Amino acid sequence: MEPRLADALTLVVTLLAVLSSGSCENDRDFKHCGTWLHGNKPLRLIYDISPGCKDISISANETCLSVEGKITAKCYQAGEFTVGKSGSSLGGQSHFCLYWEPLLDQLWVQVGGQNHTLCQPAGLQDLCCTDLSQGPNGANGAYGIINGTIKDDVASYKTLMSYTFFGDLINCKREFCDEANQGSNQINMIEETVMRSQALGIVLLPCAQSTVVEMNEDFQGYNVTLPAPKGVLPESIPSIQLPSCLKPAGRKTTKVVCTFFNNASFFKGKHQDNEILQDVVGITVENEVITSLPEPVRIGFHHRAIPRTYSRKCVSWDTRKDPHSVNWKDDGCLTVEKGMEDTDCLCNHLTFFSILVQLEPRPVHHLVALTAITSLGCAISVISCVVLIVFLSKKNRKAKEQSSPDHRGLAISLFFLNLLFFFTGILANLGGDRLCQWVGAGLHYALLSSFTWMGIEIFHTFWMVVMVFHPAPKPYVWYIIGFGLPAVLVFILVAIGNIYGVRKVVPSDDIHNPYLMCWMKSTDSAILAHYLTNVTMLAALVVSGLTMLYLVYRQIRTRDEWRQNRVTFFSIWGLSCLFGTTWGINFLDFGPLSDFFLFLFCILNSFQGFFLMLRFYILSWVRRQASSSDLGTSSTGLTRQQMLQPQEKN
């Protein structure tokens, strides 16, 4: 009893596995294979297929392999094929497979290495018989089917005279669309299935609408009319013009499938700060990969009104790098704007096409004027920083002032920042992304270094104003922090990769001619790095700078010099530049005064090197005036010096 019990348990486990696998998901295709054990006589394949959804039986004996059942939507076929003699099959054995595609209503058998079609594809079916589950098997015998499998899973190792499968009636098109929506890499199967259906003209699916066009030898181009989904106006459907060069040379006839998707959710791509319009058009030629067409395919999109402040461009779906993710590329497509609601795409290849609307970064108003102001300010600041560095070096040798290294470190950082920013546009256009990776890293380093030295100025001033009786750290400590800390941060970002490169700044008056600069890219990692380094450091700098200005104000508000407007203005304004609080205007770039604050930001920060040089010159002049007058030795004169430059107090 034990061997029989073991066989019974094995059969039960196998049946449960088959039944559970069959009931978990709808089968878009069915495959049953095995080895046919037959005798030494002529072999035949007998079939009797009719519409319905009941069952299908595959049986075998000494001379015949039979397929009978009611599982088709439209196919009604009966007959037989001669499949050879046993002598042509080694040892009286022939491998066979039965294939069933319910969506296409297609059934065929492969036996002895030859395919025999029982039901030709009859288009895409609305209702179909699928989810074939195994029923009772036939009795054992000397002839029959051995090593039977269902979708490559073993059903039985025994020699059985027949297998029976029962089906369920489902909405095949809806289930097919649900399967295609499981991932962006599955979307290709819609056009492939429409192509295999051998249909011509309009093919409708719940998720897409296709038009199949046959290109004959005299094909001279064709204007495709795509079907409109339910509830969509026909005039809003994209138009397609196929050129005559689309037909591959050397083929008499071939088909092209044009598919319209009114829901871009099938294409789950990552497009930072951009939006893909809902309409997507796919075009494919039967068994061909079409690229580099001498005459482009024209796709006309009619969409919602897109303001001119938003740029738009025709894009195509490219999966060459990663087939499991959607990458929208504008390579090979020319964008022709015909109005706020119409865009034509002229593309020299075939794939899926749509319109990419660029929402962020938002187009910049008055970009030409802002660029001119910034370039002029950077050029003047570069010269001013050189003068300031020489001035501070001479001053340090004469007076040995404690704060001179801080000022010199800030001047050096601002020199490189303004110099790189002045040439960033030229280098971006000449060197491209490869050169911009290094220039962008250098520009970022100079910016972080400038912020760090401004923070050192704030800390040193706090030390001199509040902690008067404690010695300040040595100058070499400040140099290590001011130049070393930003270098560590930039080296980490360079090691991470995909941070620095060409950055496009879109002008509002000409969105198709962006300004190129070397800076941080628009990738997710670069944006995260921007907020973690630039925004965080800038916020801390502005808050601490304003706090330090308030502490200085408390020190000087009771003095007589505070009532002198000139002294007050130069004192607070100079310290504001030194402490980097002018960079805080960047946080006010919103609302109706956005343009005003943007111009103010560019003027103050691009001319910052010049303003600092002017501050130190005025300070030196005031001190010379004070030393040459009677007030130079009075407490009032000394108080003026302390108010103008509190951080330089020994």
Q: What pLDDT score does 8 carry?
A: 43
Q: What pLDDT score does 511 carry?
A: 64
Q: What pLDDT score does 364 carry?
A: 76
Given a cut of 80, whether residue 176 has pLDDT beyond it is yes
Q: What is the CA radius of gyration of the chain?
A: 39
Q: Are residues 142 and 200 in the same domain?
A: no
Last residue in a domain, options 159, 175, 191: 175
Q: What pLDDT score does 446 carry?
A: 95
Helix (H) or strand (E) holding 209: strand 209-215
Q: Are residues 396 and 534 in the same domain?
A: yes
Strand spans (E) along 305-414? 311-318, 327-329, 333-337, 342-347, 352-358
CA-nearest of 384, 391, 515, 540 to 456 is 540
Q: Are residues 516 and 578 in the same domain?
A: yes
Number of domains in the chain: 3
pLDDT in tens, 33-81: 999 998 888 899 999 999 999 899 999 998 899 999 999 999 999 999 8
Q: Are residues 503 and 434 in the same domain?
A: yes
> If DSSP codes are grouped into helix, strand and coil, which group holds residue 141?
strand
Given a cut of 80, whether residue 541 has pLDDT beyond it is yes
pLDDT in tens, 434-487: 899 999 999 999 999 999 998 888 888 777 766 655 666 777 888 899 999 999
CATH number of the domain at 65, please.
Answer: 2.60.120
Q: What pLDDT score does 374 carry?
A: 92
Q: Are residues 168 and 229 in the same domain?
A: no
Q: What pLDDT score does 325 carry?
A: 55
What is the average per-residue pLDDT within 289-295? Answer: 89
> If DSSP codes are grouped into helix, strand and coil, which group holds residue 621?
helix
What is the average per-residue pLDDT within 585-603? Answer: 81
Q: What pLDDT score does 20 carry?
A: 39
What is the average per-residue pLDDT within 408-421? Answer: 92
CATH number of the domain at 471, please.
Answer: 1.20.1070.10
Q: Are residues 132 and 190 in the same domain?
A: no
Q: Are residues 101 and 219 in the same domain?
A: no
Q: Are residues 125 and 154 in the same domain?
A: yes
Q: Are residues 590 and 553 in the same domain?
A: yes
| Average confidence score pLDDT of the chain | 80
Q: What pLDDT score does 1 carry?
A: 41
Q: Are residues 195 and 110 in the same domain?
A: no
pLDDT in tens, 239-259: 999 998 998 887 888 999 999
CATH number of the domain at 335, please.
Answer: 2.60.220.50
* Predicted TM-score (pTM) above 0.75: no
Last residue in a domain, options 156, 175, 194: 175
Domain holding 590, by residue range, is 367-648
Q: Which structure tokens are listed for 415? A: 């020199």
Q: What pLDDT score does 309 carry?
A: 60
Given a cut of 70, whether residue 641 has pLDDT beyond it is no
Q: Are residues 409 and 352 in the same domain?
A: no
Q: What pLDDT score does 637 carry?
A: 37
CB atoms within 10 A of CB 639: 16
Q: Give CA–CA dist 644/650, Å, rounded.
A: 14
Q: Are residues 298 and 436 in the same domain?
A: no
Q: What pLDDT score does 130 carry?
A: 86
% of the chain residues with pLDDT over 70: 79
Place of tokens 């090197």: 609
Q: Give CA–CA dist 405/458, Å, rounded.
A: 14
Q: What pLDDT score does 488 carry?
A: 95
